[in-house]
């Protein structure tokens, strides 16, 4: 039986409050990878599932899996306009 080696991938996610409640989640390093959840915990769980499905699809199509560089920093900037 062939064993598949699993690789751990880390991706930054962005959780934004949805107008109807809950959160919309996007994965900036994986274009088009998005989901939502009724609360914070569900949104995180759904994000993991969406990322796993995204990566499975890339593997099925023999496409390269993006590796997000370490040290990515998300910060808020306030500007006057």
Residue at 54 is within a domain = yes
Residue at 3 is within a domain = no
Least confident piece of the model among 5-9, 27-31, 53-57: 5-9
Distance CA 13, CA 48 (A): 10
Residue at 20 is within a domain = yes
Residue at 66 is within a domain = no
Q: Which domain holds residue 23?
A: 14-60
Which tens digit of pLDDT belongs to each residue from 56-68?
999 999 999 999 9
Its pTM stands at 0.84
Residue at 43 is within a domain = yes
Look up residue 36 and give its two tokens: 């939502």
Residue at 52 is within a domain = yes
Q: How many domains does the chain have?
A: 1
Residue at 8 is within a domain = no
DSSP string, the chain: -PPPPP-------EEEE-TTSSEEEE-TTSTT-EEEESSHHHHHHHHHHHHHHHHHHHHHTTPPPP-PPTT----------
Residue 81 has pLDDT above 70, yes or no: yes
């Amino acid at each position: 039986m062939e064993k598949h080696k699993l690789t751990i991938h880390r991706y930054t996610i962005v959780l934004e409050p949805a107008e109807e409640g809950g959160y919309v989640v996007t994965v900036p390093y994986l274009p088009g990878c998005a989901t939502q959840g009724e609360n914070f915990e569900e949104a995180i769980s759904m994000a993991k599932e969406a990322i796993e499905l995204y990566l499975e699809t890339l593997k099925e199509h023999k496409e390269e899996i993006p590796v997000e560089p370490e040290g990515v920093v998300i910060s808020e900037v306030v500007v006057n306009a």
